[in-house]
Amino acid sequence: MTVSNSPLFLAAFIHRHQAVMAPYSRWSFSNRVQNIPPLIFALLVFIFPLLLQRTMEPPGAVMKHKEMLSSEWPSSLLNRTDCFYNDRLLSFSIMAAIGLVIGMIFVSLIISHTFATLKEKSTISEKMKEYHRTMTRVLLLQSGIPTLFALVPLSVCFSVFFLNLNGILIIPTCFVCMSAHSFLHSLAVLFTTPIYRRQLEIMIRETDGKLAITAKQETSSVTPRVTPSLVPKFQKW
Q: Which domain holds residue 23?
A: 2-62+78-211
Checking if the pLDDT of 235 tops 70, the result is: no
Mean pLDDT of the 39-56 span: 82
C-alpha closest to that of 42 among 12, 69, 18, 7: 7
- Dihedrals phi, psi of 56, to nearest 5 degrees: -90, 140
pTM higher than 0.95: no
Tell me, yes or no, whether 228 lies in a domain. no
What pLDDT, on a 0 to 100 scale, did the predictor assign at position 231? 47
207 within a domain of the structure (yes/no): yes
Q: Give per-residue pLDDT as tens, 74-87.
A: 777 777 777 778 88
Does 236 reside within a domain?
A: no
Is pLDDT above 70 for 43?
yes
51 in Cβ contact with 90 (< 8 Å) = no
Answer yes or no: is pLDDT of 179 > 60.
yes
Give residue 112's pLDDT: 92
Percent of the chain with pLDDT over 70: 81
Q: Looking at residue 86, what is its pLDDT?
A: 80
Q: Is the pLDDT of residue 233 over 60?
A: no
Residues paired with residue 84 on neighbouring β-strands, in sequence order: 56
Domain for residue 237, yes or no? no
Report the pLDDT averaged over residues 60-66: 70
Look at residue 178 in the predicted model and tell me its pLDDT: 84
pLDDT value for 83: 78
Q: How many domains are contained in the chain?
A: 1
Whether residue 221 is contained in a domain is answered as no
The answer to the question of residue 47 being in a domain is: yes
Domain-located, residue 44 = yes
Looking at residue 109, what is its pLDDT? 92
CATH number at residue 115: 1.20.1070.10
Residue 226 counted as domain residue: no
84-98 confidence digits (pLDDT tens)? 788 888 888 888 888
- DSSP-derived 3-state class of residue 84: strand
Instruction: Say whether 38 sits in a helix, a strand or coil.
Output: helix
Q: Above 80 in pLDDT, residue 108?
A: yes
Whether the Cβ atoms of residue 52 and residue 91 lie closer than 8 Å to each other: no
Q: What is the DSSP letter of 66?
A: G
Confidence category of residue 237, pLDDT binned at 50, 70, 90: very low
